[in-house]
Structure 1
Amino acid sequence: MNPAVGVMALVIVSLATAAIGFYGLRISRTTGDFYVASRTVRPWWNASAIGGEYLSAASFLGVAGLILLSGTDALWFPVGYTAGYLMLLLFVAAPLRRSGAYTIPDFTEARLDSRAVRRVTSVVVVAVGWLYIVPQLHGAALTIRISTGLPAWVGSAAVVVVVCLTVVAGGMRSITFVQAFQFWLKLTALAVPVLFIVFTLAGDGEAAVAPAVVNPTGLAPAGPYQNISLLVALLFGTLGLPHVLVRFYTNPDGHSARRTTLIVLGLLSVFYLFPTAYGLVGRMFAPELARSGQPDAVVLLLPGQLIGGTAGDLLSALVVAGAFAAFLSTTSGLVVSLAGVISQDVLGGGVRGFRLAAVVSAVVPLGFAVMSDSLALAGSVGLVFAFTASTVCPVLLLGIWWRGLTDAGAIAGMVTGGVLCGGAMVWGTVMGAAGTPFWLAQPAAWTVPAAFAVTVLVSRATKHRIPRTMARVMTRLHTPERPLATER
C-alpha cells in the first residue's frame, strides 16, 4: 500500500470527525446534552450511532482475521455479536430507558437504594471500558503500521487525541452525529472493496491465487465447550456493555428504545456479511496472510494484493478510512460512558467535570496500549465480553426482572464474577496460549453461571435488605409510556 494514500485516508477521517464534533458544540449547552443528548435522539439516528460505536476493531478487522485462521468456527463471533442485540431488545432496552438514569451506576443505585452498590458498579464499569478501549488502540496501531509505515504508537495516540477533542467539544450530542456518520462510512468502506474484489475474481481471477488451501493454518477446530462459552460471553456480554447501554438513555421513551434496537439488529446483520466475506476470500485466495502473523490485517491488505495498481490503492485507502472510523467511534462511545461515571462519582458532575473525566478516560488506556502487545482483536474483545457478562449483566438482568435482588447480592455477584473471570484473563496473559487450559481461555461458560448463582443465593439470604423503594422502581421500569406522536 502506498503510504501517502494511507496518511491521506487517516487525515480525512480525522478532520471529518473533528468537524462534526465541533458542530455538536454549537448545540451542546446543558449537562443533559453532554450526558444523554437531552434524551431527544430518534431511533434511526440512535441506531446508526449504536452501530458506529458497537462495530469496533474486533468487528471491522478481527472477525475477518479469525475466519481466515479458523474458518467456520469464527462465525460464532458475528452471530453472537448480533444475537446479543436481540436479547437487549427483549430484556433490557425499554426498562432501562424508563429508569431515567444517566449511567449504569445511576441505575443500580436507584434500583437497590445503595451507595455501596453504586461504587462497586462504577469500578466495574470503568474496568470494562478501559479493557475495551485497549484493543481499539491496538487496532489503530496495527492500521497505522500497515498503511503508512509510521511507528505503531502514532495510531493509538491519534485516536486518543481526536476522541478527546470530539468528546470534550460536545459530549453525547456531538458524539451521536459523529458515530452515525462513522457507521455508514464503515459499512461503505467494507462493502465497496469486497464487492469489487468478488466481481473481479468472478470476471477473470487473474489477480488471485488458486483457491486450493482449505485450512491454511492447520489449527484444530474448536470443541463444543469453546463454542458454547464464546456464545455465552457474546450474548450476555452485550447486555452489560456500558457504551451501548448509555445509548438507550438518549431515546425519548421506552417505545423508541425498542425501535432503535430493532433497527440496530438489521444494520448489524447487513454489516457482518462483509467482514465474513473478507475472511472467506482471504482464506481461499490469500492463505499466506494466515501464516504471516498478522491475520487481523487481512481486511487492510486484500484490496492491494488481489486488485493492485491505482484501483487497489484507492480501495485500500477506503478500507483504512473505515478502520480508523471504527477505532474512533467505539473509543469515543466508551469515553463518553466512562466520563459520565467518573465525573459524577469522583468529580461532582457538571460539564467541566465531564470534560476532565473524558480526558482521563482516554489517556489511561493509552498507557496500557503502548506498553502491551496486540493480541488477536476479536479474541481479546471476546474476553472483555466474558468479563462484562460475569459482572454487569447479572445485576442488570436481575435488577430489571427479579424483585428479590438485594444490594448485598449484587455486590457479591459482581465481585465473584470479576475475580473469577479477571483471574482467568490474567492467567492467560501471563502463561500464554500454550500454558492456558481451554476452560480458562474461554471462561464465560462457568463464570457467568457462578456470578448469577452467587447473586441469587446471597440475595435470598439477605431478604431483609430488599429496598423499600423496590415496588415503586419496578413499576416505573415495567409500565409502558405513551409513545411520542412523532414515533407512531
Structure 2
Amino acid sequence: MGNAAGLWGLISILVLTILIGAYSRNVSRTTSDFYVASRAARPWWNASAIGGEYLASASYLGVAGLIAVAGQDALLIPLGYTAGFLLLLMFVAAPLRRSNAYTLPDFAQSRFGSMGLRRITAIASIMICGTYVVPQLHGAALTVQVTTELPGWTGSAAVAAVVCLTVVTGGMRSITFVQAIQFWFKVAALAFPLAFMLFAIMGREDGLAEVGTAFEHLPGDSGETSPYRTASLLTALVLGTIGLPHVLARFYTSPDGSSARRTGTIVLCLVGGFYLLPISYGILGRAFRPAIGQSDADALVLILPERLLEGVTGLVLSAVVAAGAFSAFLATTSGLIVALAAVVSQEFFHSDVAGFQWAAVISGAGTLTVSLFTSSVSLVETVALVFAFSASTIFPMLILGIWWRRLTPMGAAAGMICGGFLVVSALVAHTIIGNTAVFMPAVSALLAQPAAWTVPTSFLIMIAVSLRDGPMDPARVERFLRQIHRPDFEALPANRHRKRDNTWN
C-alpha cells in the first residue's frame, strides 16, 4: 500500500507538470519568450516562480534532516538561504534588470566590453548550474527509493526527461507558470501533513512533552561545529545566493527595475515563511526520531508522517510529502536547465529558439549522465559547496561591476579565475587528505568550508588588478552605470504606449 501511494504521488506531480507545461507553451513563440519570458512576469508570479526554483532538495529535504542531526546550529542554514535575498534585493535586482541582459555573460560583456570576460563568466555559470543540477537528481533518486522502492535512477531519469520536455517546448515563459504553481504545491505538501502530525501529537497524553524534549536536545550537538565553520558556511550561503545564475535569470523577466525590486521583496517573505515548515519537521524528527543517523537524515521528511501517523493516513501523507519533494526537484532543475540552455546556446549555438532547445537537451542529458555515475552525499553540504563557488566568482564581479566604476575587465577576470580556482583546489585537497589522522584539524576546516577566505581574496584581487590596470573608457562606463542606476520613471515616456501582457496579471 505504501509503495503504491508513493508511486501514485510521484506520477501525479509528473503528469501535472507536463500538463501545465503543455498549456503554457501556447504563449511561448519568440526568442524573448524562451530566454526571458518577454520580460512580462509580474511580481507575484515571478516571486512564486523564484521560490519554486530556489527552494530545492537541500531546502525541502536537507534542512529538516540537518536540524534533526545537528540541532540548533543547523538553524543557521535557512537563515543564510533567506538573508541572501535581502542583499540581492538591496544591491543587485533592479540594476541587473535595467542592464537589459538575457544572461550573466550578456551583463559582463555590456559592462566591460570584453569577450574574454564574457567567456569566463559563461564557464563559471555553466559550472554552477551544472553542478547544482546533480544534487537535485540525487534527491529524486533518494525519494523514489524511499517511497516506492524502485531503482533510484528512475527518479533521476524521470525528472530530467520531464524538465527537458517542459523547457524545450516553452522555455522561460513556460516554466514560470510551472515553477509558480509548484512553489505553492510544495508549501501545501509540507504544511498539510504537518498539521495532521501536530494534531495527532496533541492528542497523545505526553505528546507536547515529547516535543519539548527536542528543544532540550537542541544545544546538545556533537561539538564538531566551530565559529569559523559557521561564519564560512553563512558567507557561502548569503553571498552565493547573489551569484546563482538561475535565480538572477528570473529578474531578467521583470518588466522593469522597480518590478524586479518588488519581486525580491515578495520572495524574501515567501522564502522566510517556507523555512518554518522544514524547521518544524526537523524539530519533530529530533523529538520522535532521535536515533536517526547522518546517512538517513535527508529521508526524514519523507518517512516522518508514516512514523507518527498510523495506517492509511500516514502512508497517504508520506506520499503527499514525496510528491512535494519531486515538485522541488522539478522546479529547481527547470530553472537550472533554462539558465544553462540560455548560456550554452548563446556561446555555442545560434541565439534563437532552435539553439536554445538543442542546448536544453544537451544540458539535461549531460547532467543526468553525471548524476548516474556519482554517489549522493549530504544534500545541504553539496549545495553549500556550489554556493561557495558562486560567492567567490560571480558575486564579486556583479557587486563591483554594478557599484564600482573602476573595475576593469582584467581585474574582474583575475578575481573570478583565482576565486574559482581556490574553491576547487580547497575541495580537492580536502577530499584527498582532509580526513587523514596526520592532517591538522584547523587546516581541514579551512579546506572544507573555504568561502570565508576565498571571497575576500577574490575581491582583493579584483580591486588590486583594476587599480594597477588603470581606468576603462570613462564615457562608456558612465553611460552603462547611468543606465542601470537610472530611476524607472525616467524611462516611462519611451514605454508609455507599450502593450501590457495580461497573461501575467
TM-based fold match above 0.5: yes
Partner amino acid, structure 2, of 1:45: W
Q: Distance in 1 between matches of 2:85 and 2:453?
A: 22
Counterpart in 2 of 1:79? 79
Shift in CA distance, 205/417, structure 1 to aligned 2, threshold 3 Å: farther
Deviates more, 1:196-205 or 1:244-253: 196-205
Aligned to 1:311: 313
Partner amino acid for 1:55? L
Any conservation in 2 of the 1:229–1:444 contact (CA below 8 Å)? yes
Secondary structure of the residue aligned to 2:293 is: helix
1:370 aligned partner, one-letter code = L
d(CA) in 2 for partners of 1:464, 1:41: 37
Inter-partner Cα distance in structure 2 for 1:241 and 1:216? 32
Is there any run of 5+ residues in structure 1 with no aligned partner, and where?
none
**For residue 154 of structure 2, what is the aligned residue in structure 1?**
154
Determine if contact 2:434/2:447 at 8 Å carries over to the other structure.
no
- The C-alpha deviation readout for 1:206-254, integer Å capped at 9, x for no partner, is 8999566727996225111111111111111011000000000000000
1:427 Cα deviation from its structure 2 partner: 2.6
Identity of aligned residues (%): 52
2:471 is equivalent to residue 471 of structure 1: no
Aligned to 2:460: 453
What is the CA distance between 1:131 and its match in structure 2? 1.0
Equivalence map 1:32-181=2 (5 Å): 32-181=32-181
Shift of 1:361: 1.3
Once the two structures are TM-superposed, the CA of residue 352 in structure 1 deviates from its matched residue by: 0.3
State the AA in 2 paired with 1:463: G
Measure, in 2, the Cα distance between the counterparts of 1:13 and 1:205. Answer: 37
Q: Deviations over 1:390-426 (max 9, x none)?
A: 0000001100000001000011011001000111222
What's the CA shift for 1:195?
Answer: 2.1
8 Å CA contact retained: 2:71, 2:220: no
1:35-72 superposed Cα distances (whole Å, 9 cap, x missing partner)? 00000000000000000000000000000111011111
Counterpart for residue 409 of structure 2? 407
- Which secondary structure does the structure 1 equivalent of 2:283 belong to? helix
More deviation, 208-217/190-199: 208-217
Count of residue correspondences = 487
Q: Distance in 2 between matches of 1:39 and 1:279?
A: 38
Q: Return 459-468 or 236-245, whichever deviates more.
A: 459-468
- In the aligned structure 1, how far is the partner of 2:149 from the partner of 2:461? 50
Is residue 2:435 matched to residue 1:428?
A: no
For residues 240 and 358 of structure 1, what CA distance do their matches in structure 2 show? 21
SS at match of 1:403: coil
Cα contact 1:404–1:466 (8 A) shared by 2: no
SS at the partner of 2:27?
A: coil
SS in 1 for 2:44: helix
Consecutive aligned runs of 4 or more in structure 1 exceeding 6 Å deviation: 206-209, 483-487
Equivalent residues in 2 for 1:13-412, closer than 5 Å? 13-204=13-204, 214=217, 219-290=222-293, 293-412=295-414
Change (3 A) 1:365 1:430: farther
Distance 1:348 1:467 in 2: 32
Question: For residues 59-90 of structure 1, what are the alpha-carbon distances to aligned partners after superposition, in whole Å with 9 as ceiling and x for unaligned?
Answer: 00000111011111111110011110000110
SS in 2 for 1:333: helix
1:449 maps to amino acid = P
Q: Return the alpha-carbon distance in structure 1 between the equivalents of residues 176 and 241 of structure 2.
A: 20
Farther-moved stretch of structure 1 (51-60 vs 462-471): 462-471
In the TM superposition, what is the alpha-carbon distance from 1:466 to its structure 2 partner? 4.9
Q: 1:216 to 1:399 in 2, by over 3 A?
A: closer
Is the CA contact (8 Å cut-off) linking 2:13 and 2:323 kept in structure 1?
yes
CA contact (8 A) 2:72 2:218 kept: no
Which of 475, 484, 487 is the equivalent residue of 1:480? 487
Gaps of 5+ in 2: none
Return the letter of the residue paired with 1:249: Y
Q: TM-score, normalised by structure 2?
A: 0.93
Q: What's the offset of the Cα at 1:429?
A: 3.6
Q: Which moved more, 1:268-277 or 1:464-473?
A: 464-473
For residue 289 of structure 1, give the secondary structure of its aligned residue in structure 2: coil
Residues of 2 paired with 1:206 and 1:307: CA distance?
16
Deviation per CA, 1:165-204, whole angstroms, max 9, x where unpaired? Answer: 0000100000000000100000111111112212211221
Q: What root-mean-square deviation, in Å, do the aligned CA atoms of Structure 1 and Structure 2 show?
A: 2.1
Once the 2 structures are TM-superposed, how far is the Cα of residue 257 of structure 1 from its aligned partner?
Answer: 0.4
- Letter paired with 1:182: Q
Distance change in 2, residues 1:284/1:114 (3 Å): same
Q: What TM-score, normalized to structure 1?
A: 0.96
How far apart are the structure 2 equivalents of 1:86 and 1:20?
Answer: 31
Structure 2 CA distance for aligned equivalents of residues 418 and 127 of structure 1: 10
- Could you tell me how far 1:290 is from its partner in structure 2? 2.8
Please state whether the residue corresponding to 2:243 is helix, strand or coil: coil
**Counterpart residue identity of residue 229, structure 1:** S
Residue deviations 1:329-376, cap 9 Å, x none?
000000001100000110021000000001111121212211111111
CA distance in 1 between counterparts of 2:130 and 2:196 reads 37
Q: Which residue number in structure 2 is paired with residue 438 of structure 1?
A: 445
